[in-house]
């Protein structure tokens, strides 16, 4: 009976977490929402059951390279809901999984405040990637979309990228969909056969997507520091 009760609790917890919708957070709002922001490298990760034996947490030990916001110690441990213990695994939707040996910029909450201690779950995790060609550190989001800076000094998400076997950061090749045959603008007539004027904006071509240039780690750090007090936190 105890085993069944524990299994039911785990099922209910996973279900509620997996179906929770993570609110989209504009990048410019993240600095004001975080308790601290760090650049660091993950050098250890271990998973464990919580004290009630209901939820698995993964503890990441991170060597802090730079404090962007706050004054974190040289080594911090951040606990994320989800992980694997033995043959049992709990996956929490939109919860990032950090990789050992990788560098990140983390928009973080104080330990114990939330089960996922970064702003907006995956949204608050950015990868610092060294490009072997330019010999510079660039920033991509958790899902490897490159961050770009526009002429207006806004940060936007650019193309999907990957790091090749030589360590170069490149745009990931995706299959281009075949061009669809576009029919001419339809002509709509009234009962008498007269053409009804149409709103030309409905048939206008979409505006081209705003593009920027890849942003370096130092530029992104400067952007964060400028934005720390810009927006009132909304958690």
pLDDT tens-digit profile of 114-171? 999 999 999 999 999 999 999 999 999 999 999 999 998 899 999 999 999 999 999 9
Looking only at the bridges linking them, the beta strands covering 169-171 and 125-131 are unpaired
Q: What is the mean pLDDT of the chain?
A: 85
Task: Judge whether residue 62 has pLDDT over 90.
Answer: yes
Q: Is the pTM of this model over 0.85?
A: no
pLDDT value at residue 7? 45
Of 34, 226, 9, nearest to 125 by C-alpha is 34
Phi, psi for residue 137 in degrees, rounded to 5: -90, 125
Tell me the C-alpha distance between 17 and 211, whole Å. 35
Domain boundaries of the chain, sorted by first residue: 9-15+28-175+211-227
Beta strands in the chain (DSSP E): 36-49, 56-69, 75-81, 83-85, 88-90, 103-108, 125-131, 136-141, 145-149, 155-163, 169-171, 213-214
């Amino acid at each position: 009976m105890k085993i069944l009760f524990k299994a039911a609790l785990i099922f209910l917890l996973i279900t509620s977490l997996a179906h929770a919708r993570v609110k989209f957070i504009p990048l410019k709002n993240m600095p004001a929402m975080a308790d601290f922001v760090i650049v660091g490298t993950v050098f250890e990760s271990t998973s464990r059951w919580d004290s009630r034996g209901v939820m698995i947490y993964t503890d990441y030990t991170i060597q802090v390279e730079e404090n962007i916001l706050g004054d974190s110690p040289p080594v911090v441990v951040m606990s994320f809901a989800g992980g694997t213990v033995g043959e049992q695994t709990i996956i929490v939707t939109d919860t990032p999984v950090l990789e050992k040996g990788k560098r990140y910029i983390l928009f973080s909450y104080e330990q114990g405040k939330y089960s996922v201690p970064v702003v907006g779950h995956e949204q608050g995790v950015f990868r610092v990637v060294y490009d072997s060609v330019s010999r510079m550190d660039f920033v991509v989001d958790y899902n490897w979309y490159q961050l770009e800076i526009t002429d207006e000094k806004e940060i936007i998400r650019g193309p999907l990228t990957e790091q090749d076997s030589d360590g170069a950061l490149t745009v990931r090749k995706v299959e281009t969909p075949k061009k669809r045959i576009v029919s001419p603008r339809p002509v709509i007539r009234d009962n008498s056969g007269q053409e009804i004027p149409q709103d030309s904006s409905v048939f206008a071509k979409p505006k081209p997507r705003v593009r920027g240039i890849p942003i370096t780690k130092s530029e992104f750090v400067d952007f964060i520091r400028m934005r720390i007090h810009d927006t009132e936190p909304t958690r």
